Structure 1
Amino acid sequence: MTPPLKPDWRGHTAVVVASGPSLTDEQIVHVEHANVKTIAVNSSYLKLAHPDAVYACDYLWWKTNHMKVKQNIGREKLWTQDRGAAEQFQLGHIRWEAKDGLGKQGLRVNGNSGAGAINLAYHFGVRRILLIGMDMKPGPNGEKHWHPDHPKPLVQAQQFEEWRKKMNVLAADLKAEGVEVVNCTPGSALTCFPMGDLEQELAR
């Protein structure tokens, strides 16, 4: 089958909906009533009625979830940098670059799918990105996500400190490219992007 073509989102704001424990239904309502594109990270696709894209970097996540995802979301909206997952599960693919920072030809994961989704938005032509669910720390009761832990054998370890360091490189590269990224995640430990209020940023 012919692989999906990259969509053209130039001129649009994109919201990366990550899976941190702070993600709320209220935030989702605001996003879904705004004129923006959405990229759901991993299982956060379950929060969105009509995500414009779903991205996960991990082969095992796609192996576990691809059939369920495809029940309601078209194949042209499903993306990964993992070639094996893309070929086996018929997903959109942008080749992986094993470096930190922003991949301009390929996609750099920087250790986590949230960062990969930001890079994906860049490849779709977006130059303004809002982040929600990007906590980069455990929740108040040690929660890893807004949803229960992924089932084994999916990776459970979260290297927040390492991810934040890699995000610093990504943030510098994005700034150099003229890409505006605003972190609208209340209480986020990710400080390399300016913080903003979700409603105010969506209204801009």
Structure 2
Amino acid sequence: MWTITREWEGETVFILASGPSVLDLDLSLLTGRRVIAVKSSWLHWPAADVLFFADGRWWREKHLRPGVDAFAGLIVTTAMEIGDPRVKRIKKINPTHLSAKPGEVALARTSTTGAINLAIHFGARRIVLLGVDAKLGANGQRHSHRLNWPWPKGGQPQAFADQMAEYRAIAPSAAAMGVEIVNANPDSAVTIWPRLRFEDCL
């Protein structure tokens, strides 16, 4: 099992999720900044420091991670069944709160929660969420990467509700740890954290 060290003490960390709003962002503004990409969102920013995923199926179904062999950053998962030597494994706990232990992260319904906890373990004092929309795009699009996701669309409203409940559960512990979180999508359905324009988060 892998343990995180605080290599980014006091820094701002950008977490790149895969909501459709990512397509409207000028991601070149991430140049030189700390970035954790969640699952296939790394395709939008291959220079991310970390690629994080919780669902082992995402790694096993290779059409969901095209070109990932070229990813030069750190790859981290909570999926214990993944035995690839490139992938660091870390323990998962239920997300009643964020973990303060550098060998584990909290999450259940969304890898973004685990990425938030990961950023805090790295030493982040400010976290900016990108693509955390919790709703479909204007054309019914679920993801910015447009890959053929194998999970059924019918459960999406409940999935969004579960994700928001998870964010509400972990928000107080992030604040107690002295970490500021902002959502760089003024139109996001996630209202737990302040919603700002991406440009205003830099």
Bin of the TM-score, shorter chain as denominator length: 0.7 to 0.9
Q: 1:61 is matched by which residue type in structure 2?
A: W
Cα displacement (A) at 1:108? 1.0
SS of the equivalent of 2:139 reads coil
| Higher relative strand content | 2
**Could you say which residue in structure 1 is the equivalent of 2:98?**
102
Indicate how the Cα distance of structure 1 residues 194 and 25 shifts in structure 2: closer, same or farther if over 3 A, else same.
closer
Equivalent residues of 1:102, 1:174 under 8 A apart: yes
Indicate how the Cα distance of structure 1 residues 83 and 188 shifts in structure 2: closer, same or farther if over 3 A, else same.
same
Q: Does 1:187 align with 2:154?
A: no
Paired residues for 1:73-152 under 5 Å = 73-74=71-72, 77-85=74-82, 87-88=83-84, 90-105=86-101, 106-152=104-150
Equivalent residues of 2:43, 2:145 under 8 A apart: no
Paired residues for 1:155-194 under 5 Å = 157-158=155-156, 159-194=159-194
Q: 2:91 is matched by which residue type in structure 1?
A: R
Cα displacement (A) at 1:14? 0.5
Equivalent residues of 1:18, 1:131 under 8 A apart: yes
Cα displacement (A) at 1:197? 2.2
The CA deviation string for residues 48-67 of structure 1, in whole angstroms up to 9 with x for no partner, is 14111001111011112467
Indicate how the Cα distance of structure 1 residues 155 and 97 shifts in structure 2: closer, same or farther if over 3 A, else same.
farther
SS of the equivalent of 2:91 reads coil
Cα displacement (A) at 1:69? 0.9
Indicate how the Cα distance of structure 1 residues 198 and 133 shifts in structure 2: closer, same or farther if over 3 A, else same.
same
Number of aligned residue pairs: 195
Measure the CA separation in 1 of the matches of 2:200 and 2:192. 20
| Structure 1 residue ranges without an equivalent (≥5) | none
Cα displacement (A) at 1:26? 3.6
Q: Does 1:57 align with 2:51?
A: no
**Could you say which residue in structure 1 is the equivalent of 2:43?**
46
Range moving further from structure 2, 167-176 or 17-26: 17-26
Cα displacement (A) at 1:186? 3.2
Identical amino acids, percent of aligned pairs: 31
Indicate how the Cα distance of structure 1 residues 190 and 5 shifts in structure 2: closer, same or farther if over 3 A, else same.
closer
Indicate how the Cα distance of structure 1 residues 3 and 163 shifts in structure 2: closer, same or farther if over 3 A, else same.
closer
Indicate how the Cα distance of structure 1 residues 171 and 128 shifts in structure 2: closer, same or farther if over 3 A, else same.
same
Q: 1:190 is matched by which residue type in structure 2?
A: V
Indicate how the Cα distance of structure 1 residues 6 and 83 shifts in structure 2: closer, same or farther if over 3 A, else same.
farther
- Provide the alpha-carbon RMSD of the alignment: 2.3
Measure the CA separation in 1 of the matches of 2:118 and 2:58. 18
Measure the CA separation in 2 of the matches of 1:183 and 1:198. 8
SS of the equivalent of 1:84 reads coil
Measure the CA separation in 2 of the matches of 1:77 and 1:7. 14
SS of the equivalent of 1:146 reads coil
Measure the CA separation in 2 of the matches of 1:119 and 1:5. 11
Using the size of structure 2 for normalisation, the TM-score is 0.86
SS of the equivalent of 2:106 reads coil
Equivalent residues of 1:8, 1:124 under 8 A apart: yes
Using the size of structure 1 for normalisation, the TM-score is 0.85
SS of the equivalent of 1:83 reads coil
Measure the CA separation in 1 of the matches of 2:178 and 2:42. 28
Cα displacement (A) at 1:5? 5.9
Measure the CA separation in 1 of the matches of 2:194 and 2:152. 29
